Amino acid sequence: MCPLSNYFIQYYFVQMQHLLRPLTLIPFGAPGVGKSNVLNILIGRAIFVSNASAASGLTRSIRSQTAFALGDPTLIQLTVYDAPGVGDLQISIQQMILELQSGVGTTVSFDVTLMVFKASDTRITIQEIMALKAMKAFFDNFSSRKVMCVITHCDKVPVTEPWIAEKLQMFKKYSGIQLSRDQVVLFNNTRDSLKPLVKNLAPSGDMHVKTNLQQEGLRLMSELPNDFAAKAQHEGMTPEELQQVKKLQLQHDEMRKQLADGEIQQQQLRQQLAQPNYVYIDHGSSGGPCN
C-alpha cells in the first residue's frame, strides 16, 4: 500500500476513535493562572472550583468531567481533567506524581495538553518551565503538536504579537518544546475567546501517563540546574537573559527546598492517597463544584 493511503487510513481511524470517545485534555500551569476557570468555560459548566484563593493551591487532586465543548451539544464532547498546579512551589513533584498515578492512571488516553499562563507573566517563570518539562517527561507519546497554549487574563493585560513570539521562543529555549502561533489562544474570560481552542483541538488519543513517573520525576529535577547553568554559559546570552537565568536559578533552589521538605511528608501523602474517595473522578454525570 502506498504511504499516502496508509496515512489516510490512519487519519480516519483516529477520527472514528474520536467519535466513540470524547477528546481528552489535561491542563498544566502554575496555580492561580486560571486553569479551572478555563476548563469550566470550556465545558460550559462550573464544575471545578475556581476562585482567587485557588491561587494558593486549592485544587489539590485531579478530577475529570465530560461534557460538550462550550456546553454546546452541536460541538464535540470533551473530557477535561483538572490537575494540581505543575511547578507549584507548594506541592512537590513527588506529590504531583502520586496524584497523577492515583487520579489518572496509565490507561487514560489524552489528546491534548493545555499550557496555561497569564498575560501578566511577562517573562518565563520556573512554573512555566516545569509545566512544559512535566508534560514531556510524564506522558508517553508526547509531542509538541499536542500542546495548546491558553493565555489567560487577556481582558486585563493586552498582549502583543511580539510578546507572544518572544514567550514561545523562551519556551523553546528552556524546555525544548517548540510551539507555533496557531497553538496559542488568547483567553479574555469569555466563552467566545475559547472558540479558536475548540476549533484547533485535534484527536490523537495516544498520550498516556507513563508507568515510571518516579524515575521521570527524578530525571526532571536533576536536569533543571544543569539546564540553567548551561544556558548561562551560552555565549550569545544578553545581560537581560543572564539576569533571567539567575532569577530562574533562585526559583529553582526554592523548589528544591520545597521538594526536600515534601519528601518528609511522603509516607503521610501515600496514606492519604490510599484512602478511598480521596480522588474523585466524575465521568459525565452532572454535579456541583468539587474540590
Ligand X SMILES: Nc1nc2c(ncn2[C@@H]2O[C@H](COP(=O)(O)OP(=O)(O)O)[C@@H](O)[C@H]2O)c(=O)[nH]1
Query: Angle 64-68-70 (CA atoms, 0-180°, nearest 5)?
Result: 100
Smallest distance, Å, CB 79 to ligand X?
A: 17
Indicate the DSSP class of residue 109: P
- Contacting residue, 145, 156, 234, 257, with ligand X by CB under 6 A: 156
Q: Is residue 54 near ligand X by the rule CB under 6 A?
A: yes
- Contacting residue, 52, 73, 275, 288, with ligand X by CB under 6 A: 52
Query: Angle 290-150-285 (CA atoms, 0-180°, nearest 5)?
Result: 30
Q: Is residue 78 near ligand X by the rule CB under 6 A?
A: no
| Choices 33-41, 210-218, 240-248, 271-279; region in contact with ligand X by CB under 6 A | 33-41
Give the strand pairing for 77-82 and 63-68.
Answer: antiparallel
Q: If contact means CB under 5 to 8 A according to the sort of partner, which of ligand X, Mg ion, none does residue 217 touch? A: none
- Contacting residue, 72, 140, 155, 261, with ligand X by CB under 6 A: 155
Q: Is residue 153 near ligand X by the rule CB under 6 A?
A: yes
Smallest distance, Å, CB 158 to ligand X?
A: 12
Nearest by Cα to 148 from 189, 104, 116, 107: 116
H/E stretch holding 270: helix 266-274
CA distance 157 to 180: 21
List the helix and strand counts (H, then E) for the chain.
9, 8
- Contacting residue, 28, 29, 33, 36, with Mg ion by CB under 5 A: 36
CA distance 197 to 149: 9
H/E stretch holding 167: helix 161-175
Retrieve residue 205's grid coordinates.
488519543
Smallest distance, Å, CB 180 to Mg ion?
A: 27
CA distance 135 to 151: 17
Please, which residues have CB within 8 angstroms of residue 236's CB and are 6 or more apart in sequence? none
Q: Is residue 63 near ligand X by the rule CB under 6 A?
A: no
Smallest distance, Å, CB 100 to ligand X?
A: 16
Total Cβ atoms within 10 A of residue 278: 14
Q: Is 236 helix (H, G, I), strand (E, B) or coil?
A: coil
Smallest distance, Å, CB 48 to Mg ion?
A: 6
Q: Is residue 263 near ligand X by the rule CB under 6 A?
A: no
Nearer to ligand X, 124 or 245 (CB): 124
Q: Binding pattern to Mg ion, positions 42-81, x when CB under 5 A?
A: ------------x----x----------------------
Smallest distance, Å, CB 282 to ligand X?
A: 17
Q: If contact means CB under 5 to 8 A according to the sort of partner, which of Mg ion, ligand X, none does residue 140 touch? A: none
Residues that bind ligand X (CB under 6 A): 29, 31-37, 50-52, 54-55, 59, 85, 152-153, 155-156, 187, 189
Residues that bind Mg ion (CB under 5 A): 35-36, 54, 59
